[in-house]
Amino acid sequence: MRLSIRYAFDAHLHLRRGDMLRRVLPQTLPWCDRALVMPNTDPPILTAQDAEAYRQEILAAGRSNFEVLMTIKLVPSTTPKIIREARAANVLAGKYYPKNTTTNSADGVEDIHSLYPVFEAMEEIGMVLCLHGEMPNTCCLDSEVKFLGTLKALANDFPRLKIVMEHISTEAAVRTVKRLPDTVAATITPHHLFLTIDDVCGGKLHPHQFCKPVPKRRPDREALIDAAMSGNPKFFLGTDSAPHPQSMKECAEGAPGIFNAPVALPLLAQRFEEEDDRAFPQLLEDFTSRFGAQFYNLTLNQRFLVIERSPWKVPLEYDGIVPFKAGETIPWKLA
């Protein structure tokens, strides 16, 4: 079986910089026409200038018709002026990281209320707020659920601010996003449709299945699959593909992040087909291309690629980076 499908919009992508950028971007280009690129690089993307320099670096490593959508990182020193300048330079979103919750977040925000003037500016000029929605200093199993009160408060306090709760991992987050106004959406990763906590630290410890937020229980995974396939435009793809060198994963203190770019679309096709073999092509395209574009006010991608149901073995590594499902045989591939 072959399927012609629109190129995807990856609404949550880590491309890193320099050498790492050049190693990982080629795995996104074959199936992705545009991506919203995360700003937690080292050093971070904090201003219009940073974003423009980073955009040029990505374009130079990429392809002329690959649309690079930029974000800046919201840190304690971010001001409304920085926001306005960034928006004028075509930065689409600002990303909130609670302090010390994920890769390169030591400069994150301790009190989200300190960012309220920044959120006001974002609301006024139409910049999207992307949230790493985990409550700091909270058990990793509960941190997303405990953050949902903050999400509700933000939606209430900034009724015209567009908000994306990124990489949701719980049934409770699905329910909350559904109930909130249409200004609030969520991204879902491919790996959260496959993993539970047992795949991280059940029988064995699996660094290449370790990410933030940590995968939860089966009912959470089921709720995410249902949401991704519901046709509800609040839920769309953000791969959160997050590469680390093998040596940073297989060590005494493994970094969170799953490099899924080489397998994201094939895995989504697999999961969607398993759940609904008749409706899945349309549901898949809506999830990977349409709903994200709608939320970010982008025109719909007009290029198509072909994927086919033809088993292939995922390579053990891509240039020193171990991908999700390394060494496993999966049923769909890019044609």
Instruction: Give catalytic residue positions.
Output: 240
Task: Say if CB 32 and CB 7 are below 8 A apart.
Answer: yes
Cis amide leading into 98 (omega within 30): no
Q: Give the shortest CB-172-to-a second copy separation in angstroms.
A: 16
Tell me the three state secondary structure of residue 294: helix
Contact string 181-220 vs a second copy (x = CB under 8 A): ---------------xxx-xxxxxxxxx-x---x--xx--
How far is the C-alpha of 216 from the C-alpha of 115, rounded, in Å?
29
Task: Say if CB 244 and CB 259 are below 8 A apart.
Answer: yes
The angle that helices 116-125 and 143-157 make with each other, rounded to 10 degrees, is 60
Sole binder of a second copy in the list 80, 254, 315, 331 (CB under 8 A) = 254
40 in contact with a second copy (CB under 8 A): no
Q: Give the shortest CB-303-to-a second copy separation in angstroms.
A: 36
Tokens at 307, concatenated:
């994927």
256 in contact with a second copy (CB under 8 A): yes
Contact string 308-327 vs a second copy (x = CB under 8 A): --------------x---x-
Sole binder of a second copy in the list 140, 298, 330, 334 (CB under 8 A) = 140
Strands 163-165 and 184-188: parallel
97 in contact with a second copy (CB under 8 A): no
- Measured from the CB atom, is 166 or 220 closer to a second copy? 220
Sign of CA dihedral 267, 268, 273, 275: positive
Please give the residue ranges that form the binding site for a second copy (CB under 8 A).
100-101, 139-141, 196-198, 200-208, 210, 214, 217-218, 249-256, 322, 326
